Each structure stands twice: as C-alpha cells, then as structure tokens.
Amino acid sequence: MNNVHVRTRQRVVEREMLLRAGDPPDSARAAETGRNLRRLQVFRDVVVDTSADGSTLRVTTRDGWTTRPYVSFRSAGKQRLFSVGLLETNFLGLAATLDARYAEDPDRSVARLAFSAPRLFANRISTGAFFNRFSDGRSVGAVVEQPFFALASHNSARVGFITLDGRVLRFRNGFARAADSLDRRYSIGYAGVAHALRASPRGYLRIGADAQIRRDDYVQRRDLPLPMQRTITGATTGYVEYSRADFLLTKNFRLLGQPEDVNLSTTVRLGVAVAPSAFGYDRNYVGPVVSGRTAIRLPMGFVQLAGRLNGLASGGAIDSGTANVSATIALQPSSRHLLVAFSTLGWQREPAPGEEFDLGLTRGPRGFQLHAFTGDRLHYSVLEYRWITFPQIGKSFAAGLAAFAETGGAWYAGSPRRSGSDAGLGVRFAPIRSAANVGATRLDFVRRFAHDREPAGWLFVIGTGFSFDALR
C-alpha cells in the first residue's frame, strides 16, 4: 500500500496554514491550522508546534492510508445490506476524493460514482459531483463553491443542483413490505452567499442568503401511466449566524487510536424563509429557520446540546415543518474508557413522501429490521460503554469491547406510539493508520426485546460508527 500511495503535495499543507512568516504568534490560528489539516482526511497524524519564544511555527504531517478497497456489511437477522467499491481520499496527492461503489439493500441496489476536490481552481474554488444509478431510477448532482476556509474568513458562495428520477417507498406500522410506492421527479437548483460582519479564530458573526428553484412531483404507481403534473416553485432564506469557537482535541471518541476534533462551539442561526405565491406556491408562505448547538466541558468529558426548527406557515397556520432536539453526554475517565449517552426527540408536520422519520438497522435501534419504525414523531436514546482493550495490534489496528442499551421508535400523529428496545455486547475495531474519518466498525451480539411486530431474540449486527450518527 505504501508503494502505490501518492504522497500529499506540499502546497496542500501550505494552503491550510493560517499563519505566515512575519505574523505575530497566535495559538488560536495554530490550533485551527491543525483542525483544517485533519479535516482533509489524508493524514493519520498532524502536529503543530510553536517555539518557546513564539517565533517559529512547525507543522508536521504524516500521511495515512487513503487508497483502500471499500467493503461494508450490515446485518440484523434475515436482512442484509452490503456495499463494495474503492475509496480514495487523496487522489493524486491533492486531497481530492474519488468514490466508486456498488450497494444493495432490501429496497434497491445502487451504483455510485462521486468526486470532490477542495480548492481545485485558483486554490480557492472547491467542486464536487456525483452520479447514482439505482435499480429503480437515477440521481445526479454537482456543486461549485468558495467556502469559508477558516473561522476568520469573510466571504463564501456556492451554486449547485441535484436531480432525482426514481421511486419512493413508504412504510407503515413496522411491516417490511412498502405500504405505498410513488414515482418521484425532483430537481433543485440552489445558490447561496454569506459574509462575516465580524470574524476571528475565536468566532464570527455572519449574514447570508440562500435561494432555490425546485421541481418536486409525485405520482402513485398504481395510477400510472397518468401524466405527472409539473410544478415549479422558488423560495429564499435570509439568516444571521453567531458562533463562539471551542474545539476539543481528543482520542477514542468516534475514532480509535487517532486524534480527532470534537466541535464544542456555541453556534446559533436565526433566519426567515419566504415562499410567495409569485414563485409558484398556491399561497404566500413564511416561516422560521432556527438552529443552534452548545456544549459544556466537564472534568472528564463534555455535554452537547443541539436543536433545529424550520417550517412554513400561511395565515397563522403551520403548513409544514420539522423540529428536533438532542443531547449527548460523553465521559472519558481515561483515554481507553468511554461512556456515551445520547437522546433525541423529533416532530414533523406534513413531511414529503419518503422523508418521514425512519428507524431500524442503519439508524436508531440496531436490533430491528429496516423501516421497523416510521412516522412523523420520533424518540431515541442509547447508553454505551466502551473499553479499548488493545490500543495497538500490529501497529495497524485498535480494538475494544462495548456494552450498550437503547430504545426508540417512530409513529404517525394520531396513531398508537410504536417503539422497541434492545441491549447487548460487542467488539469495536478500526485501523489506526488510515486517514479516512470513519467511525469504528461494530460487531454486536444484540438481545432484541419483543414488540408488536417482532419477537424477542438474539441477533448478530454489523455496523459502523455510533448507532446515533445518522440522527445527530
């Protein structure tokens, strides 16, 4: 693997450095330089040192494995999901990502090709594109942007599009077979700009605006071949965002044996979305776009709190919207021991078909089949303890043991509340020389407790990362 590896180009490291020759010493910029380099997912180690008198900054990076065959397998009882392919996160040494894979689950199969590159043009413009070929449709998208390169950056802009021509499956009451199937034609073009009124390595105050033009049509498959009605709408959002930066550099939280940055910043975004009848809607709509997160440092860990709310209303009545709140508590009495608790609540009104809350196997309670819990109401909680038993195996892998318990569910308003619980023991392992920012692989023996659709029983479940990653 070392022989086929293309070493990261020096200019990739230099463009992420926020301090130049002659700049005064700044520990915040030095720390952010390290975070920016780790975020590229091409290094297995990044060290940023400042001399005692502050006159010299030394940045040392060590490349990690970036070219790797991709094999993923998830299983819970009789249901199996797998994908195979090749993932390269440092294409030609430019920190570009090339992803080619094939995946299959009980709903459909998909062949995917994706490419993204930071600062590909003029050392400022980033780009990305993807193509998905489903067994029942296809999806294409691309984006070109100048992002905020650092907390102290003052401007960003982006433009992009996504199209989808495929099938939407809707599940109810925990049945593995879809209750409804629709054809969907979806296209969206979007653009956004933002400017920092105040910016420094310690935080910022930004204003921004986003706009989109969208087509999103559905036809129930049993009604085909009736023509699909074509609707085009537009909407705009203006917002202000404040952030006070706080990052924790730690190990063995989401990754194993590698340094990782945990964002403990306090960030609040307040905005207003406008969707007028002049842009294709049946009436004038306006609604809030609010999100926020904060964290509290503890002597042996931290607490993270997050929430978001968005919706559209007309005449004082809510037409559609989504709200979600979550909390994460992480305690690390030592680097090899971790206790994590996570809980989330969610609410939706008139979600688009296929965008309802959906728990089972790949997200939420791991001992239940795909689509075990669907609806516009959600709750999920998990408690997990992990012990890194072997910090190094052949200088290539780390492994540990875990114990967990979880409960969660989703249901539709006006319907009986549906949820399920499970608990078990498992193994966690991950490569410590890889540069890809992927969570530890999970091998779990799960005791599923009986509920209205599935009996109690033991299962062997394979997954990646925390079971709540997709719900954060």
Q: For residue range 339-349, list pLDDT tens digits in order.
A: 999 999 999 99
In degrees rounded to 5, what are phi and psi of residue 204? -160, 165
Query: Is the pLDDT confidence value at 67 over 90?
Result: no
pLDDT confidence tier of residue 117, bands split at 50, 70 and 90: very high
- pLDDT for position 439: 76
Angle at 359 between CA 355 and CA 364, to 5 degrees: 130
Mean pLDDT, residues 17-39: 85
Mean pLDDT, residues 453-464: 85
Query: Is the pLDDT confidence value at 21 over 70?
Result: yes
Share of the chain above pLDDT 70, in %: 93
Mean pLDDT, residues 418-445: 86
Share of the chain above pLDDT 90, in %: 49
d(CA 358, CA 375): 7
pLDDT confidence tier of residue 224, bands split at 50, 70 and 90: very low
Bridge partners of residue 67, in order along the sequence: 88
CATH fold of the domain at 10-471: Porin (2.40.160)
Mean pLDDT, residues 303-332: 92
pLDDT confidence tier of residue 471, bands split at 50, 70 and 90: confident
- Of the candidates 453, 343, 312, which has an alpha carbon nearest to the alpha carbon of residue 407? 343
State the sign of the Cα–Cα–Cα–Cα dihedral 365, 78, 445, 253: negative
- pLDDT for position 325: 97
If you average pLDDT over each of 106-110, 143-147, 276-280, which comes out highest? 143-147
Query: Is the pLDDT confidence value at 398 over 70?
Result: yes
pLDDT confidence tier of residue 436, bands split at 50, 70 and 90: low
Per residue, the 3-state secondary structure of the chain, as one string, reads: CCCCCCCCCHHHHHHHCCCCCCCCCCHHHHHHHHHHHHHCCCEEEEEEEECCCCCCEEEEEEECECEEEEEEEEEECCEEEEEEEEEEEEECCCCEEEEEEEEECCCCEEEEEEEEEEEEECCCEEEEEEEEEECCEEEEEEEEEECCCCCCCCEEEEEEEEEEEEEEEECCCCCCCCCEEEEEEEEEEEEEEEEEEEEECCEEEEEEEEEEEEEEEEEEHHHCCCCCCCCEEEEEEEEEEEEECCEEEEECCCCCCCEEEEECCEEEEEEEEEECHHHCCCCCEEEEEEEEEEEEEECCEEEEEEEEEEEEEECCEEEEEEEEEEEEEEEEEECCEEEEEEEEEEEEECCCCCCCEEECCCCCCCCCCCCCEEECEEEEEEEEEEEEEEEEECCCEEEEEEEEEEEEEEECCCCCCCCEEEEEEEEEEEECCECCCCCCEEEEEEEECCCCCCCCEEEEEEEECCCCHHHC
Query: Is the pLDDT confidence value at 434 over 80?
Result: no
> If you average pLDDT over every residue of the chain, what do you get?
88
Mean pLDDT, residues 461-469: 84
- pLDDT for position 4: 72
Q: Which two tokens stand for residue 255?
A: 């990754």
Question: Contact at 8 Å (CB) between 292 and 269?
Answer: yes
Query: Is the pLDDT confidence value at 194 over 80?
Result: yes
